[in-house]
Amino acid sequence: MKTRVRSNWSNAVLVCTKCSKKLDGGFGPKGRQPLGKALRKHLDLKKGRKAAAGVVDVKCLGVCPRGAVTVVNGAASREWLLVPAGADLDELVAALDLRDPADGDATR
């Protein structure tokens, strides 16, 4: 049995799927995608542990804001973000500090 598995993630972001479901999308170019999927596409992340960062959809974080989605940056887990529907994904990437430590660019 393996006790450890390697990952390329520089950061992990938790996105509440219950909040996203209540908004019925609200993100992406046409405003129809859930936040997790829109963020993965915006950052052009590979799938699974081979991605530069992980965007993980979780069931419920227990905050349940109206008209927004709860997001937690794993590196700064003491501060949670409430992202309103239609928010600019570039601003969200900056707020989550999803930067590649090697070159300072976003994890694209």
Task: Give tens-digit pLDDT for 41-96.
Answer: 999 998 899 999 999 999 999 999 999 999 999 999 999 999 999 999 999 999 99
60 closest CA partner among 70, 52, 68, 50: 70
What pLDDT, on the 0 to 100 scale, is given for residue 103?
A: 45
> Do 40 and 53 touch, CB atoms closer than 8 A?
no
Residue 57: Cβ-neighbour burial (10 angstroms; 0-12, 13-18, 19+): middle
pTM of the model: 0.85
pLDDT at 100 over 60: no
pLDDT at 107: 53
Beta-carbon contacts of 52 under 8 Å, excluding residues fewer than 6 positions away, are: 8, 9, 10, 43, 45, 46, 100, 107
The pLDDT value given to residue 30: 87
Burial (0-12, 13-18, 19+ Cβ within 10 Å), 81: middle
Q: How many CA atoms lie within 13 A of 17 on its CB side?
A: 6
- Per-residue confidence (pLDDT) for residue 25, from 0 to 100: 84
The model's confidence at residue 99, banded by pLDDT at 50, 70 and 90, is low
